Amino acid sequence: MATRHVMQANKSKNTKPELVVRRMLRAAGLPGYRLHWKKCSGRPDICYPGRKVAIFVNGCFWHRCPHCNLPTPKSNVEFWEAKFARNRERDAQNHRELVSAGWTVLVVWECALKKSRLESTIARLVREIELSDTGLMPHGRVVEVGYMPAWRHRVAWHRFRR
C-alpha cells in the first residue's frame, strides 16, 4: 500500500527539471511555447508549433538515461524491465512520428540539468531552437541536448590522451 502511494506521488507534468527548462527558455527570450500540446504526437513537455520544435524533458529513471547507467530495481524485476521497455518504445515511436512530420525533436535528460552543466545545456537548447528558424539545419531530426555526440566524444578523448 505504501509503495502505491509513493508511485502515485510521481508527477508527469510540471516536474522540477521541466520547470527549470521553461524558466531558462523565458530568460533566454524564448517564450511563446505550448505545454503538453495535444495536437502534437507524444504531447511534448514544451512545444513551439510555429517552429516545429518539440522538447521532451526526460527523467533519467523513467526513461532509462543512456548516460547515467541506473540500476534496475531489485524487486519485481520483470515488471520494471517491461515497464522501462514500454517507455523507451513509446518515446522512440513518438520521435519517429514527429520526425516524419518534419519536426525537430530535442531531448533533454534530467542529469544534463545539474548545476555544473545547466548553462551549457540551456545554451545548446537555445541554439538548436534558433537554428530551426534559420533553415540551416534540416527539420525532421532528433537531437539529444546536453551531451556531445559519440563521435565527437571519441575525438575529444583522443586529443586529451595525447
Q: Which residues contact 39 (CB under 8 A, 6 or more apart)?
A: 49
Q: Helix (H, G, I), strand (E, B), or coil: what is residue 110?
A: helix
pLDDT of 155 above 50 = no
Q: What is the largest CA-CA distance in the chain?
A: 56
Percent of the chain scored above 90 by pLDDT?
59
Using the structure block, give the residue that is written with the C-alpha cell 523513467.
62
pLDDT of 11 above 70 = no
84 alpha carbon, distance to own chain's centre: 16
Domains and CATH numbers, the chain: 2-161 (3.40.960.10)
pLDDT one-digit tens code per residue, 100-128: 999 999 999 999 999 999 999 999 999 99
Q: Which residues contact 139 (CB under 8 A, 6 or more apart)?
A: 52, 102, 103, 104, 132
pLDDT of residue 149: 55
